[in-house]
Amino acid sequence: MTPLRSTEPPGTDIVIVPASEHPNRHATVLPYTEADWRISDETVARLAESVPENTRRTYTRIGRDFENWCRKENRAALPATEATLTEYVSHLIAEDAAPSRISTTIGALRKLHAVAGFKGQPDTERALQLLRGHKRQRAADGRGKKQAKPLSPEDIERMVETLDPTTFAGLRDQLILTLGYGLMARRSELAALRIADVIEVADGLEVQIRTSKTDKESEGQVRGVPPGSHVSVCPVRTHRLYRAKLAELVIIPGQLDPETPLLRSATKWGTPRRSGIPERLVDDVVKALAVAARLPDPGLYSAHSLRAGAATASLRKGVPAGIVAEHGRWSKTSPVINEYARTADLFRDNAMRGVL
């Protein structure tokens, strides 16, 4: 046998061994049995738990709706044929489902097939063709894609002014707004925060985000949130007041364990529960306060308005897009930042500025 020299350090030569001289050439190859293709219930459960909770809920709902439709239409749901998926998308279009919902459905059904062992099935070409036509028709009807309207710092201040900072719920909602904005947080990230995850330091707040949408390996990320320019919108001051109110109202000391939720649900008496807030509460708070503050088009605001608004405001201040993407935990290949940059530059770098 002639060793093949490698570029590795001495002692790491790669040796090519002919098949006739391989030490396992006489090994008996056992035939596959059913056990080779079976995954235990425990492993299935672990696979399910490895998917983020909100994604798991979405996939479960989509899979259930698809199975119910297939049952009514006398079609097989798993594995589904290309024709079945195409017909299902046509059914969703007939119901005037939003293009984003249809796109999520197609992706989820492909993922569910892959998890079940049917990788690459069903083919989505004609389903996506239908989706593109649906998008064009909605755009022609004036019902194109509607994104969450970004919140400006002035909007945040107006929303905070509608709150009662003497109550637990008022301070909590103020923290949702100010910390959510300063962190460019997803609603899932806010709801997941523990008391130990937010630490006040000399320059502001250090926030530990244990896992997020773009942190697939759950390695965790730390972000700094500086103080605000006005006391009502300062996340540092709001966090300090909120923590004091939490300590004042909690009856059982153990409920302030560092690993318990930071943002708490409230009882009907206005005291904090031990349980954290559901993600949808962030949406509810933003929507309700947009109405209370009499913001224009209040129905266009959602939890994402905090994240989108903070990114847009930063870009308008001249912060480089790469730094904004890093702070907001966007994927390096995400086109979202470019969309926000175009919004921020719509008039600042307009080709017609000063021409007329």
| pLDDT the model gives residue 42 | 83
Spatial distance between the Cα atoms of 175 and 238, rounded to a whole number of angstroms: 6
pLDDT at residue 299 is higher than 60: yes
Same fold, 40-140 and 153-331: no
**pLDDT tens per residue across span 146-203:** 678 899 999 999 999 999 999 999 999 999 999 999 999 999 999 999 999 999 999 9
Residue type for position 59: Y
High-pLDDT (> 90) share of the chain, %: 47
| pLDDT the model gives residue 57 | 83
**pLDDT tens per residue across span 63-112:** 999 999 999 999 999 889 999 999 999 999 999 888 889 999 999 999 88
Other Cβ atoms closer than 10 A to 260? 17
Q: 304: which 2 tokens?
A: 């994402």
169 neighbors 266 (Cβ within 8 angstroms): yes
Spatial distance between the Cα atoms of 307 and 301, rounded to a whole number of angstroms: 11
Q: How far is CA 148 from CA 156, 221, 286, in A?
A: 15, 25, 11
Q: 205: which 2 tokens?
A: 């707040």
Other Cβ atoms closer than 10 A to 332? 9
φ/ψ bin of 119: left (φ > 0), alpha (ψ from -120 to 50), beta (otherwise): beta
CA-based torsion, 55, 58, 64, 67: positive or negative: negative
Among the CATH numbers 1.10.1060.10, 3.40.1280.10, 3.40.50.2300, 1.10.443.10, which is that of 153-331?
A: 1.10.443.10
Other Cβ atoms closer than 10 A to 84? 20
What does residue 95 show for φ and ψ, rounded to 5 degrees? -85, 0
Spatial distance between the Cα atoms of 215 and 212, rounded to a whole number of angstroms: 5
Q: pTM of this prediction?
A: 0.70
Q: Which residue has the higher pLDDT, 87 or 47?
A: 87
What is the band of 126 on the pLDDT scale with cuts at 50, 70, 90?
very high
Average pLDDT over residues 115-121: 80
- Domain boundaries 40-140, corresponding CATH code: 1.10.150.130
**pLDDT tens per residue across span 199-240:** 999 999 999 998 776 656 667 789 999 998 888 889 999 999
Residue type for position 341: A
Domains of the chain: which residue ranges?
A: 40-140, 153-331
306 neighbors 185 (Cβ within 8 angstroms): yes
pLDDT at residue 334 is higher than 90: no
| pLDDT the model gives residue 105 | 94
pLDDT at residue 7 is higher than 60: no
Helix/strand/coil for 349: coil
Preceding peptide of 122 cis, ω within 30°: yes
Which ranges in 36-115 belong to alpha helices (H)? 41-49, 53-72, 82-94, 99-115
Mean pLDDT of the chain: 84
| pLDDT the model gives residue 305 | 93
Burial 30-46 (b: 16+ CB within 10 A, else e): eeeeeeeeeeeeeeeee
Q: 210: which 2 tokens?
A: 């244990």
